Amino acid sequence: MHPNAPTDRGQCKAIDPIRKIALIDGHWQPRVVAEMNDYQFKVVKVIGEFQWHRHADTDETFIVLEGELRIDFRDATTGDGAIALRAGEMAVVPKGVEHKPFAESEAKLLLIEPRGVVNTGDGEAGDRTVANDQWI
């Protein structure tokens, strides 16, 4: 277990992701609310566009809790495209696929990814890169 994780890792208790998101000050600042094995459940509120990025070694799951999210894709194998998700919908971005989330107005999300995944992917860290294992 990561040293900053609470001893219960969010297990054996009810977690209200919307209430947890309300505790986050800024946008694009994911915070961990629970762990399952080596996977983390992260909540985040987003608005505007994120940067293009990819995760070479892992898939990433986006679940929209409130609002709408578009995810643009660039991939040499499957081609370019985009998907639009509304509240209650989810999508999995496969490992290695370059993607860029975008929300016209504020959206609230639950992300599922392995512990240690950097939010801005495998490229250079930038102004949107957030330190890992920040719990709320």
Greatest alpha-carbon pair distance for the chain in Å reads 43
Segments making up each domain of the chain, as ranges: 32-114
Predicted confidence (pLDDT) per residue in 27-60, tens digit: 999 999 999 999 999 999 999 999 999 999 999 9
Quick one: which of 118, 2, 130, 133 has its CA closest to 54? Answer: 118
- Residues 75-102 pLDDT 10s: 877 789 999 999 999 999 999 999 999 9
Nearest C-alpha neighbor of 114 from the set 57, 64, 73, 65? 57
Prediction pTM value:
0.91
Cα 82 from Cα 108, distance rounded (Å):
19
Is 21 in a helix, a strand, or coil? helix
Q: Which CATH number fits domain 32-114: 3.30.1130.10, 3.30.2350.10, 3.40.50.300, 2.60.120.10?
A: 2.60.120.10
